[in-house]
Every structure is written in structure tokens, then in C-alpha cells.
Amino acid sequence: MSAAPAGSSRDRPAIERLDPELDRLVAPDTKIEILAQGFEWSEGPVWVKSTGYLLFSDVPRNVIMRWEEGGGAHEWLRPSGYTGREPRGGEMGSNGLAIDPEGRLAICQHGDRRMARLEAPLSAPAPRFSTLADRCEGARFNSPNDAVFHPNGDLYFTDPPYGLVKQFEDPARELSYQGVFRRRRSGAVDCLVRDMTLPNGLAFSPDLKTLYVSQSDPAAPLWRAFEVHPDGSLGASRVLFDASALAKSRSGLPDGLKVETSGNLFATGPGGVLILTPDGRHLGTILTGQRTGNCAFGDDGRTLYMTAHMYLMRVRLTAKGAGF
């Protein structure tokens, strides 16, 4: 897949403002910075507060990259998503990354078809992973894609087939659906949603009463909002925003997302990063000029890092990420 340079006249990054309320979140003079480039498909960024750097996946290359101010981006972990010895194709690397309440790195491993945790320091002879979850009701996952931790330690994640070599048609598929799953702190795994097609990014509202899930289905590109019950299960859902009209003229589909402290969503999708209110109003878009996979708040919580195809970008906000 090829892309026009981010600085071309056709695809130059810009801020699209559709509602005056956006100025409260993204200042009128905000600029978009390109921090690094040359990746095959950058994804899954997460800010590591304890050390002050950003980690993100380069999915096809089976590596996790590390970026820090003044040091640039460099390879941090290989292999990141496929630890087998037999050569294979497809999107085999890590995808979504998340830090658990104890500060440990959880990894959506496409190639190994599991949620894993990095256990060994990088100074060890080889990275050592432990399996958090690799199946539900006896069936192996397709390829866990994105994940978010509840403060109680429960891990919520999505499982489309993007990491399988033949995706929907792969003979190794064991699940007939693409679910939203929960791995409880106890280790028990349950499926919370079975009726979404290509569930992808997910994030909690600041009050933890809503779980937002994106659907990267070209036939139905949208975001859903699920009621979260006190026991952590999911209840009724509603369509928060349908991106079908935007997807007809802009590249990209609903993908990763994050939520700021007042409840607005920064959701990657057609054109870049859409800013959506909790009631589904589209305030504007950070137009990256690229298909944009995911985003993460970092620094003091007011910097949004964006993985956009071959680029790592950032934008400074007045909004602050939930959890900072």
C-alpha cells in the first residue's frame, strides 16, 4: 500500500473545525508535527508514564518501537507479536498495547493469537511473555487487536481476524464470530459482544459507565457505546456515530480511540482523528493526510500521539486525556 507524503498539497495535515466547541479542546493555532516516519504500518501507541516515552507497534515488521523526546524512534522489542519459528505472512506483529494498573505492558499479539504480557526485561537473552488469554470457550482467538484495562485490573479487548494470513477465509479460524472479550483479573475469560463485525478500538468513558467500541467494517463503519454494568458486563448499546458518509470520500475506517477527561472521544477514522462528543456530535477532525490507526495521550496528558500509516505524529491539545 502506498501513500502520498504527509506534506503534499493533497494530503497536508490540518485541523478541520465543524463546531466552535472544538476550540475548547484544540486551540485555533494548533499545529500537527511529524515525529518519525518510514514504518510499514504504525499502530497501538501507549505512553509509559513511569519512564516518559512512547511505545508503538510496526505490525508487519513484528516489532515494537520506542520514541522519546530528543532520542527519536528506534526498535525496542522483536519479536513483538509472532514468536513462532515457521515463516508466515499476514499482519503477524503486535498491534494494540496497554499498561496494566501495576505498570506492566500487555500486548495484542496478532501472530500468536493471544493477549500477552511482557515479563522479562529487554536486557534478557530473549523476551519472555506470559499468556493472559488465548481462547474463549475452548476456541482460539482470531487475532486480538486492541485493548483497554479497567482500573480494577480487568482487561477488555477486541478480536477481528486481521492477523490471520487469509483473514475471514483462514482455515485456522476457530471462532465463528469477532467478539469483544473480557479477561478478568482472576484469569477467567468471557465474551461480552458477539454481534459486531470487525470490532476494533475501545475505550471507557471517564466515569467507567460506558465502553466505546469502533467497528472497522467498510459496509458499516461506526462507533458503538455500550452501557457498563456494575459487574463489568455490557448492557444495551447505541450507535454513537455512523461514519458511512465520511468513508465515501476519505481514507480510513473507525479504528483506535481515546477519551479525554470531559468525555469527548478522539477516534481514528476517515480522514484522521475525529473528535466526537459523548452524544455523538462531530466537532472536527485532525486531518493527518494518512490512514490513521490509533492514538494515545502522553506527556502531561495534553499531547495526542497518532500512528498514521508510515508516520508517527503528535498534536498539542488543551484537552487532557482521561487517567492523567
Give the bridge partners for 302, in sequence order.
none
Residue 194 lies in a domain: yes
CATH number at residue 270: 2.120.10.30
Give the bridge partners for 183, in sequence order.
155, 189
Q: How high is the pLDDT of residue 127?
A: 80
Please state the pTM of the whole predicted model. Answer: 0.95
Residue 133 lies in a domain: yes
Residue ranges making up the domain that contains 28: 14-316
Instruction: Give the C-alpha separation, 59 to 229, whole Å.
Output: 34
For residue 179, name the pLDDT band (cuts at 50, 70, 90). very high
| Count of CB atoms situated within 10 Å of the CB of 266 | 26
- Across residues 10-22, what is the average pLDDT? 89
Q: Is the pLDDT of residue 125 over 90?
A: no
For residue 6, name the pLDDT band (cuts at 50, 70, 90). very low
Residue 216 lies in a domain: yes
Residue 31 lies in a domain: yes
The model's pLDDT over 190-225, given as tens digits with 9 standing for 90+, comes to: 999 999 999 999 999 999 999 999 999 999 999 999
User: Within 13 Å of residue 284, how many CA atoms lie on the same side as its CB?
Assistant: 18
Residue 5 lies in a domain: no
Q: Is the pLDDT of residue 258 over 60?
A: yes
Residue 87 lies in a domain: yes
In sequence order, the 6+-apart residues with CB closer than 8 A to the CB of 215 are 196, 197, 198, 199, 200, 221, 222, 223, 224, 254
- Across residues 174-186, what is the average pLDDT? 97
How many domains, in total, are found in the chain? Answer: 1
Instruction: Give the C-alpha separation, 83 to 129, whole Å.
Output: 10
Burial environment of residue 11 by CB neighbours within 10 A (0 to 12, 13 to 18, 19 or more): middle
Q: Is the pLDDT of residue 8 over 50?
A: no
Q: Is the pLDDT of residue 320 over 90?
A: yes
The model's pLDDT over 20-52, given as tens digits with 9 standing for 90+, comes to: 999 999 999 999 999 999 999 999 999 999 999
User: Identity (one letter) of the amino acid at 217?
Assistant: D
Residue 1 lies in a domain: no
